[in-house]
Chain A
Amino acid sequence: MNIYNAARGLFTAVTMLLLSASLCVMSGCGDKKATATKTIGVVLFGDSRQPQVDGFKDGLSRLGYKPDESINYVMRNAKNKRPELKMLVQDLIDQDVDLLVAAGGLEADTMKKMLGGKKIPVVVLYVNAITERGLVQSRREPGWEVTGIDNLNAELSGKRVELMQDLLPDMKNILILYYEKIPPSRIGVAKAREIAEQSNIGIDARAVSSRDEIKQTMESLEPGEVDAMLTVPTAPIDNALKDVILPNVNRLKLPLMTHSRPLAEKGALASYGAHFYDMGAQAARLADKVLKGVDASGIPFETPKKVIYTMNEEVKDALGIQVSDVVRIQVDEFIKTDK
Chain B
Amino acid sequence: MSIFTVKSPRRIANKIILLVLALVLFSIVLWGSLIYIGSRDELIKTKTDQLNEIAFNTSNEIGKFFIPIFVEADVIASVIASDPDSQSTLASRLLNSFISNRSEIEEASIVDHQGQDENRVCRMLGVGRNEVRSFTGDAVIENALMGERSVSRVIFSEYLEPMVSFATPVKSGNGPGKVIRAVINLKWLWDAVQSLQIEQSGYVYIVDESLKLVAHPDPSL
Residues of A within 8 A of B (CB): 139-140, 150, 152, 155-162, 165, 191, 194-200, 285, 289, 294-295, 298-303, 305-307, 324-326, 329-330, 332
Contacts and interface: CB of A to CB of B under 8 A. Distances in A.
Interface in B127-174: 127-131, 158-161
B9 interface: no
B126 A159 contact: yes
Nearest to A195: B126
Contacts of B10: none
Contacts, number: 88
A20 B194 CA distance: 35
B124 A159 contact: yes
Contact of A198 (B92, B97, B131, B161): B131
Contacts of B47: none
A298 B220 contact: yes
A159 B159 contact: no
B194 A160 contact: no
A298 B220 CA distance: 5
Contacts of B129: 165, 198-200
A299 B218 CA distance: 8
A326 B96 contact: yes
B55 to A, nearest CB: 28
Interface of B: 89, 92-93, 96-97, 100, 103, 122-131, 158-161, 187-188, 190-191, 194, 217-220
Given A329-B97, A330-B96, A298 B219 contact: yes
A294 B100 contact: no
Contacts of B159: 139, 150, 152, 300-303
Contact of B124 (A155, A295, A302): A155
Contacts of A325: 89, 93
Given A305-B188, A329-B93, A330-B100, A289 B217 contact: yes
A158 B92 CA distance: 18
A94 B218 CA distance: 29
A123 to B, nearest CB: 14
Contacts of A303: 124, 159, 161, 187
B101 to A, nearest CB: 10
Nearest to A332: B100
Given A326-B92, A329-B93, A160 B130 contact: no
Given A159-B125, A162-B128, A199-B129, 18 more contacts: A139-B158, A152-B124, A155-B124, A156-B124, A157-B126, A160-B126, A194-B126, A285-B190, A295-B220, A299-B220, A301-B159, A302-B161, A306-B103, A307-B124, A326-B93, A329-B100, A330-B96, A332-B100
Closest 7 CB pairs of A and B: A198-B128, A158-B126, A298-B220, A195-B126, A162-B126, A199-B129, A300-B160
Contacts of B219: 294, 298-300
Contact of A191 (B123, B126, B217): B126
Contacts of A161: 126
A178 B86 CA distance: 37
A325 B100 CA distance: 14
A312 B54 CA distance: 50
18 contacts: A139-B158, A155-B125, A159-B125, A159-B126, A161-B126, A162-B126, A165-B129, A194-B128, A196-B128, A289-B218, A295-B220, A299-B219, A300-B161, A300-B219, A305-B187, A306-B103, A326-B92, A329-B100
Nearest to B131: A198
Contacts of B123: 159, 307
Contact of A158 (B125, B160, B187, B190): B125
Contacts of B122: 159
A303 B188 CA distance: 11
B100 to A, nearest CB: 6
A56 to B, nearest CB: 16
A329 B160 CA distance: 30
Contacts of A197: 128
A200 B124 contact: no
Contacts of A289: 217-218
A199 B124 contact: no
Given A326-B92, A329-B100, A302 B126 contact: no
Contacts of B188: 305
A301 B97 CA distance: 28
Nearest to A155: B124
A35 to B, nearest CB: 14
Nearest to A191: B126
